Amino acid sequence: MFKVGDRIVYPQHGAGLIDGIETRTVLGEQVEYLTIRIFSDNLVVRIPVNRVEELGLRRVMDRKGANAVLAVLAEDVTVDTGSWSRRFRTNKDKIRAGDVREIAEVIRDLAMRDSERPLSSGERQLLAQAKRILSSELRWVLEKDEDQTNEHLDRLLADLAAARAEARAARSQ
C-alpha cells in the first residue's frame, strides 16, 4: 500500500506525490482517500484507496525502468501507415492505459512520423500529452527539474530523429 511521501504515477496525469491519507464519510460510510499532488498539471486529486488498483496508480519507476523506457524510444519500428483515426484511437488508448512503455511507444511513433511529415493538430496534442506524462515521471528518476527533463527528452528525440534520417539516407544510396 502507499504511504504519505510516496512518489506515484496516476495514468493520464503523470507523476505526483502522496500528500496525505484521510478518511471521509460518504453516504454514511467511512472511505479512505489518498490526496495526491500532480506536479505537471498543478493539480490535487483525491483517490479512494479501494480504487487505487482499478485506476492504475503505481510507484514511480526506478533507474532500471527508466533505462528500459528510454530504450523504447530508440527502437526502430515501421511507422504505421493506417488511417489517421485508427492511429489516433490506438495512441489515445495507450496513453489512457497508463503503461509507461506504451506511452514511450506513442512518443516514439509520433516523433518518427513528425520527422517525416508534420503531424495533425490532434496527433501533436497527443504527442505533447504523452511527453508531459513521461517527463513528469522521468524527472524523479533523473533527479532534474521539469524544464531540464523536457530538454533531455527533446534532445534525445532529436538525436534519434537525426540518426534515423542518416540511416534512411544511407539505405537510399
What is the tens place of the pLDDT at every residue in 128-146?
Answer: 999 999 998 999 888 888 8
Query: Which residues, at least 6 apart from 130, have a Cβ–Cβ distance to it below 8 Å?
Result: 91, 95, 103, 106, 107, 110
Both 46 and 79 in one domain: the answer is: no
**110-to-21, 69, 124, 126, 162 alpha-carbon distances in Å:** 38, 16, 8, 8, 15
Both 78 and 132 in one domain: the answer is: yes
Alpha carbons 27 and 173: distance in angstroms, whole number? 70
1 within some domain:
no
The domain in which residue 32 lies consists of 7-59
Query: Which residues, at least 6 apart from 92, have a Cβ–Cβ distance to it below 8 Å?
Result: 126
Both 153 and 124 in one domain: the answer is: yes
What is the tens place of the pLDDT at every residue in 82-122?
Answer: 788 898 999 999 998 888 999 999 999 999 888 888 899 99
pLDDT at 80 (0 to 100): 66
Residue with cell 484507496: 49
133 within some domain:
yes
Instruction: Supply the pTM of this predicted model.
Output: 0.84
pLDDT at 112 (0 to 100): 87
| CATH code, domain carrying 97 | 1.20.58.1290
Both 53 and 79 in one domain: the answer is: no
Both 108 and 28 in one domain: the answer is: no
Residue ranges with strand state E in 14-145: 14-26, 29-38, 43-48, 58-59
SS3 content of the chain, % helix, strand, coil (to 5): 55, 20, 25
Both 53 and 67 in one domain: the answer is: no
Both 100 and 158 in one domain: the answer is: yes
Work out how many domains the chain is built from and give that number.
Answer: 2
What is the tens place of the pLDDT at every residue in 28-86?
Answer: 999 999 999 998 778 999 999 999 988 889 999 999 999 999 999 988 776 666 788 89
**What pairing do the DSSP bridges indicate for beta strands 14-26 and 7-10?**
antiparallel
Q: Is the pLDDT of residue 151 over 80?
A: yes
